[in-house]
Structure 1
């Protein structure tokens, strides 16, 4: 007997029924703000974050997570490439210094998850990374992701080697990416497999290919059935056009153009797991494609394989609030 394929409306109804489960809502502030030059007093940034923390979004909620674009505090206006690289390295943090302490204190003061953009990170081996730190509401450094794919040959950072997620108790799990990482589908796919409900991509795109990045943001959301936040710097450092995409690929919110702006939106991170379980529009259950009894599929590109035994995303128990 041939099984009937659900109609679009039936699929929508199925997803709507599934969304009656306990929500895991989080309010996110996306600060498409202009880059601050290296050496600017930290208080300038702190006052900006304090202001955002008291703003409300369309749902009347204040932010629980505040994020800024790539290299937000590492501006080098008017410098040549060599001068810029020298200045960035001289200002690099080891994530155990005054800058990191200030980030931690600010997150604790406001009781928010704080992603202050990315920073130049130095380590004892002499490497310099483009790193995204995430600070918890209690002031702890919850995660630090080193950009795996610097935009070569223009970015002279050392590539990171570890995919990074961070749990937000009561809400869900974030997957962390930086700018050019979004062009490599393996990175987003692995983060989704690691249980990311929302993939955050911090960007400072200064080139016209921002139009292609917007397509990639939606494609990565659709292909992995996760939320995707692509947060770009505004002019003159970037092309702006930040957006937030749902696990079904719909644009939830977007900033048109390259002018500075702020978007505050509340999303239910539980929608990621519901979409992965019931399918996009109730149809495409990509994370259920392989069954444990199926044979492994070789992946010669990576010298590896798809093992059906380990195909499903990894999720931890999360208590809703």
Structure 2
């Protein structure tokens, strides 16, 4: 798992917290982040990356899906507003990488995207990712069409997915191919299929040889059971049950690259399966093929 002295060690905090209703003063969220940032400070394991669940700042308790969508549409951001500046100021104040969950982002053709954002310790919005697979027919978010990875200097690379994305192996595969050492999956699962999602977190980690960090909302907005899985599928940490909890641990992102080089359990080198002279493998479902010359993570 790594220690705080490892070159590529990254201390992460997964906040399995309940949603804050739309309109909650920003200071309430800021206090939570400050408290987390100072957690374990005396032990030297101060969090460097803090992650909240899907739509953490945009709760709509007690209303149906249609009204929830209307309220989120009214509160939507263009990623250039006061909320964005406040989030950037907070990450700069604390000197942390911050993923404050996801935000309803205004779409060019009306409606909203479900968008994960990443702020650097310098307070800059360095990445955004629009959920590709809304939970249809229950969610009306406009799907995104591109993938996102973020370089954390001196540590490694993280990729972003959102909730239901994890059910589609093509998405995690693409993010891993872009060189992610860890995929952060922000979640707000309220249904009993959270059990299957924990299995998917392990399977996506195994078949892509990446860390998987799946952080779900706490009750009453989610089923909890957040977990962190290593690149060989071992569950490193698990927040059992739906109550509000905080997971803080240190991982060595370089371990993902070692697993890819040496093989899962020293056996399986998945990213070396195809040789440059292998013929293309047609993939009719996608109208494309596996090109052997491309079958390796990008760095």
TM band (smaller chain): over 0.9
Aligned to 2:207: 223
Structure 2 residue 133 is the aligned partner of structure 1 residue 149:
yes
Aligned to 2:265: 281
Query: Which residue, 155, 173, 191 being the options, matches 1:189?
Result: 173
After superposition, residues 1-321 of structure 1 pair within 5 angstroms as 23-56=7-40, 60-315=44-299
Conservation of the 8 A alpha-carbon contact between 1:148 and 1:160: yes
* Whole-Å separation in 2 of the counterparts to 1:59 and 1:291: 47
Conservation of the 8 A alpha-carbon contact between 2:7 and 2:154: no
* Whole-Å separation in 2 of the counterparts to 1:23 and 1:143: 24
* Whole-Å separation in 1 of the counterparts to 2:199 and 2:11: 24
Aligned length: 295
* Whole-Å separation in 1 of the counterparts to 2:103 and 2:119: 13
TM-score, length-normalised on structure 2?
0.96
CA-CA distance at 1:58 after TM superposition? 11
CA-CA distance at 1:85 after TM superposition? 1.1
Task: Give me the CA root mean square deviation.
Answer: 1.4
Residues 65-97 of structure 1: CA distance to partner in whole angstroms, max 9, x if unpaired?
A: 000000001111111222111111000001000
| Higher Cα radius of gyration | 1
Conservation of the 8 A alpha-carbon contact between 2:107 and 2:142: no
Return 5+ residue gaps in structure 1 as ranges.
1-21, 316-321
Provide the secondary structure at the position in 2 that maps to 1:223.
helix
Return 5+ residue gaps in structure 2 as ranges.
1-5
CA-CA distance at 1:23 after TM superposition? 3.8
CA-CA distance at 1:103 after TM superposition? 0.3
